[in-house]
Amino acid sequence: MVASSEDSKAFSGSPTTLSADAVTMDLTMCGLLPDRAAEIAQLYQDHGTWNQVKQAWFHERRGNRSTRGSSQKIFRVLSGRFKNAPPTLPTPSDLPQLLAACSTPQSTAQVLYFYLIADDPLVRYVVQTYVGRQAATPSRELDFSTDALTSILSQIVYDDGTEFDYAQSTTKRWCRGFRSVLRDIGALGESATATGTPPTIDTVPLLVAVGYSYEVGDDHWVESPRGLQYLFQPESRWEELYDRVARTDVWEYIELHGQLQLRPVEKLYSSITTEVVS
């Protein structure tokens, strides 16, 4: 089994390509870290170039909360997620406004989660494969135990024919890092647990998730909403979530070819502001 590319239009949970060169273990040293990620996004909005952001990050000692080497690695990983952000997500310069509109730390984490998935092929592969399995055999409880995750990782065959091959200790650390991300977004509870349930989604991350689904999907994107699937939302919730989106000022139902379709009112993401969700 191999993993699908980010720009694949049809999400089926059955991946198609995964390059060994693109896969890293970055998650072992840097999860979402929402507060630091938000600081980097704000610095980018303030300064406009990544070189200036890096200088400000270290000059203001934002990165010096651990060793210098560790701080540099964290900055590289977090800033890389924004540098590599696809046009299907809000631009990094718009992020501070979006994150300020988030009502809880979980909402902030859910927005940042999409940048992690877009940037990290291994995270994306595991999420897509898990969602595909969950769709095929639905269960109330989400299982993110090390055994469940390694059963996915062990099936990876890269596009050059080689297999996933990391030390068991490294793989276990990666699984712990993955679970820390899931705790941030609300899919897992206490730190000792490895099972959870689909998280609740507030307005801002919901608008981002649906906007992302619209951008990466085709005309029938509502039948396979990638963003909602990435947040582990079961199909039974989709209609309710679509109705919530349609009740905002930025999306609406329109009749097209005799069917109601959900469409953005203006340019996507342009109107997700504090005023919209107040």
pLDDT at 67: 57
> For each of the chain's 278 residues, which pLDDT tens digit applies?
333 334 333 344 445 568 888 899 999 989 999 999 999 999 999 998 999 999 998 876 555 555 556 678 899 999 999 999 999 999 999 999 999 999 999 999 999 999 999 999 999 999 999 999 888 888 778 999 999 999 999 999 888 888 888 999 999 999 999 999 999 999 999 778 899 999 999 999 999 999 999 999 888 899 999 999 999 999 999 999 999 999 998 899 998 776 788 999 888 887 675 444 44
Residue 227 corresponds to which tokens in the numbers above? 């963003």
- C-alpha distances (whole Å) from 21 to each of 17, 80, 160, 212 are 12, 16, 10, 26
Q: Are 272 and 248 in contact (CB under 8 A)?
A: no
Please tell me what DSSP assigns to residue 261.
E
How many CB atoms lie under 10 A from the CB of residue 139?
10
pLDDT at 274: 42
pLDDT at 267: 80
pLDDT at 275: 43
- Determine whether 266 is exposed, middle or buried from the number of CB atoms within 10 Å of its CB (0-12, 13-18, 19+): exposed
Report domain 20-196's class: mainly alpha
Where do the structural domains in the chain lie, given as residue ranges? 20-196, 203-277
Of 230, 259, 20, 22, which Cα lies nearest the Cα of 127? 230
pLDDT at 255: 81
Beta strands in the chain (DSSP E): 142-143, 195-196, 251-256, 259-264
